[in-house]
Structure 1
Amino acid sequence: MKICSYRDVTPDREIPGVALHLVISAQDGAPHFAMRVFEVEPGASTPFHSHWWEHEAFILAGRGKLRGSEREWELAPDDAVYVPGDEEHCFINTGSEPLRFICCIPHH
């Protein structure tokens, strides 16, 4: 088992304005899924992209939008999000504070 604060995990900052904390991974013994915590700064977004795997997200703080290929959805704290595999998407921070969310994906 593992318990940690996402704040204790050094984030990947490859995407400008986005901090990705990989809090649980295969290296922790999780055989199927990874858990990540994203922090998207105001005005920033994750890249518009798609991939074969689905993922689930849970909005912890902030406001934003989930952009899909045909529409956008508003995001607020306590929202649960499902993104099917092969669906183009990105998370956009439209608020004045960081958009923070948990995202779980299968190992790929």
Structure 2
Amino acid sequence: MVVVNSSRNVEPRIYHDGKKVLHVEKRVLVGPHNGAPNFSMRKFTVGKGGCSPYHTHPWEHEVYVLSGQGEVRFAGGSQPVAPGDFALVPPNDEHQFVNTGDGVFEFLCMVPLKGEDG
């Protein structure tokens, strides 16, 4: 069955520990809850001055930037990103997403279902 919805209808999970994770909202748009058999699509909104943790995991993910200005940090460097840019994060590569702009930084992130924690 085809599923069509709006990200505005998905309740966000808020992540902010004041140290490693700052001002991050995650909305799981597509996943097991609506019948996806293989992948999860998540929308992340990172507030001004916010960031994801610098971390690694055993699955790849693909990222597509929707709005704002950000930076992808990884072992050996970093790369600025803007709307329309995309990134592939291979399995086990350390990485972090940082909002470097004055507004929100939003991106889609797709992972296999085993990479979705809810």
Q: Do structure 1's residue 88 and structure 2's residue 89 form an aligned pair?
A: no
Instruction: Provide the residue aligned with 2:55 in structure 1.
Output: 49
| Partner SS state of residue 86, structure 1 | coil
Counterpart position of 1:77 = 83
Q: Which stretches in structure 2 are left out of the alignment for 5+ residues?
A: 17-21
Distance 2:73 2:15 in 1: 21
User: Equivalences for 1:1-108 in 2 at 5 Å?
Assistant: 1-15=2-16, 16-108=22-114
Mark the runs of 5 or more structure 1 residues left unpaired by the alignment: none
Q: So what's the TM-score if we normalise by structure 2?
A: 0.89
Amino acid in structure 1 at the alignment position of 2:37: P
Q: Which has a greater percent of strand? A: 2
> 2-side partners of 1:80 and 1:92: how far apart?
14
Root-mean-square deviation over aligned CA pairs: 0.8
Query: Identical aligned pairs, as a percentage?
Result: 36
Q: 1:19 is matched by which residue type in structure 2?
A: E
Please identify runs of 4+ aligned residues in structure 1 that moved more than 3 A: none
Q: How many corresponding residue pairs?
A: 108
